[in-house]
Amino acid sequence: MRPASVSLDLDNLWAYLKTHGNPDWESRPSFLATAVPRLLDVFGEHRLTTTVFVVGADAERDDGAQAVRDIVAAGHEVANHSWGHEPWLHRYSRPELEAELVKAEDAITAAGAPRPAGFRGPGYSVTPALLEILAARGYRYDASTLPTWIGPLARAYHNRTARDRAEGAGDLFGGFDKVLAPNTPFRWHGTGLVELPVTTMPLLRVPIHGAYLLQLHQISPRLARGYFRAALRLCLLTGTAPSLLLHPTDVLSGAEAPGMEFFPGMAVPGTEKAALLGWVLSSLRENFDVVGTGAHVDRLSELLRERRTELCG
């Protein structure tokens, strides 16, 4: 059975509020104590090993460090999601980028996880300088690309609903040209670093991860499930090994994430969200061998080596 992967960006409440220009973020409100046990229960129920991309600033706080310990104890990979979760890393200087990575690594390892081997930029932010630094620091893979055309639409929605545009928000989520980015894993030229894109629906290049499914679910649960089934069928037909992205908001109600009324799907009750996530994971497992992103990269590398051996033979 072909591999697929599931990853979780452990974005906290304060990070969403900060990006949205809400000054309440400065008090660092958190929903980790609610979200992490619920997500780990869903993963455990479906016997899944995933990858959790952790924000360094959260790993330094008590509830974040506890979350890291619980994630590691449950057998999941912990990867780097930057220290301050600013979706405009592409504006950082090279020294700033390196300091951001090192600070997050130190916080994650201090919390009890192994040194990260994978990275995902907040807001799918990636630059050649970032990739060079990752490779130099021994990372095996990056997972920061979202090959879709909807970036400018998502940015327009964000700017329309934000209280106050955060610095750097003017170029969030990229442009229409991202539709040309690969939807399957590849190696970055010059670094050898493997890129594992967040999979979008083959051919149509529309997102299939949690927030989009929940927005459809608000309209019609049947529509959301039909949309995801269509995505899986297209992945199978095109030979795409999906890498599915999750967020804590995929299991939290609006009342459990105060201030996030602007975010898609927050009107759906938390129990209903968890049930939808369980169905998504079951559907994925029916068609693929589901692992975390690091294991997915390893499996794909093995397949490529086998293919080379067959071609040479």
Question: What share of the chain in percent tops pLDDT 70?
Answer: 88
What are the Cα distances from residue 237, in Å, to 145, 186, 234, 240, 287? Answer: 22, 19, 5, 8, 12
Sequence-ordered list of residues with C-beta below 8 angstroms from that of 105, at least 6 positions apart, any chain: 56, 80, 115, 116, 137
What pLDDT is recorded for position 151?
60
pLDDT band at 125 (very low <50, low <70, confident <90, very high): confident
Contact 209, 244 (CB under 8 A): yes
Whether the per-residue pLDDT at 19 is higher than 70: the answer is yes
Query: What is the pLDDT averaged over residues 287-302?
Result: 92
| 1 — pLDDT class (breaks 50, 70, 90) | confident
Given this model, what pLDDT does residue 213 score? 95
What local confidence, expressed as pLDDT, does residue 313 receive?
A: 30
pTM over 0.85: yes
Task: Give the SS3 label for residue 311.
Answer: helix
pLDDT computed for residue 310 by the predictor? 38
Q: What integer is the mean pLDDT of 36-59?
A: 97
Nearest to 15 by CA among 235, 215, 166: 166
Provide the number of structural domains found in the chain.
Answer: 1
**What are φ and ψ of residue 305, in 5° steps?**
-65, -40
For residue 113, what is the DSSP state? P
Of 153-157, 224-228, 253-257, give the lowest mean pLDDT range. Answer: 153-157
Residue 62 is predicted with a pLDDT of 98
Q: How far is CA 205 from CA 109, 173, 246, 290, in A?
A: 36, 15, 18, 22
Using CA atoms of 88, 113, 103, 165 in order, give the dihedral in degrees to the nearest 10. 30
Contact 277/269 with Cβ under 8 angstroms?
Answer: no
Fill in the amino acid letter for 15.
A
- Tens of pLDDT, residue by residue over 69-93, are 999 999 999 999 999 999 999 899 9
For residue range 136-164, what is the model confidence (pLDDT) as tens digits?
999 999 999 999 987 655 544 445 555 55
Evaluate if residue 180 carries a pLDDT over 90.
no
Average pLDDT of span 288-310: 78
- Average pLDDT estimate for 35-58: 97
Residue 178: per-residue pLDDT: 74
Mean pLDDT (whole number) for 233-250: 96
Considering the chain, what percentage of its residues have pLDDT values greater than 90? 79
Q: How many whole angstroms from its chain centre is CA 280? A: 16
What average pLDDT does this structure show over 194-222?
Answer: 94
Q: How far apart are CA 112 and CA 21, in angstroms?
A: 32
For residue 250, pLDDT beyond 90:
yes
C-beta separation of 195 from 143 below 8 A = yes
Looking at residues 48-70, what average pLDDT do you find?
Answer: 98
User: Residue 65, by phi and psi: left (phi above 0), alpha (psi -120 to 50) or beta?
Assistant: alpha
Looking at residue 291, its pLDDT comes to: 96
Q: What mean pLDDT do residues 286-295 have?
A: 96
**Given this model, what pLDDT does residue 224 score?**
97
Phi-psi region of 289 (alpha: psi -120 to 50; beta: other; left: phi over 0): beta
pLDDT of residue 167: 54
Residue 38 has pLDDT above 80, yes or no: yes
26: domain CATH number is 3.20.20.370
**What is the span of the domain harbouring residue 274?**
3-311
* Burial call 284-300: b when 16+ CB within 10 Å, e when fewer: bbeebebbbbbbbbbbb
Mean pLDDT of 243-250: 97
Instruction: Answer whether 182's CB lies under 8 Å from 300's CB.
Output: no
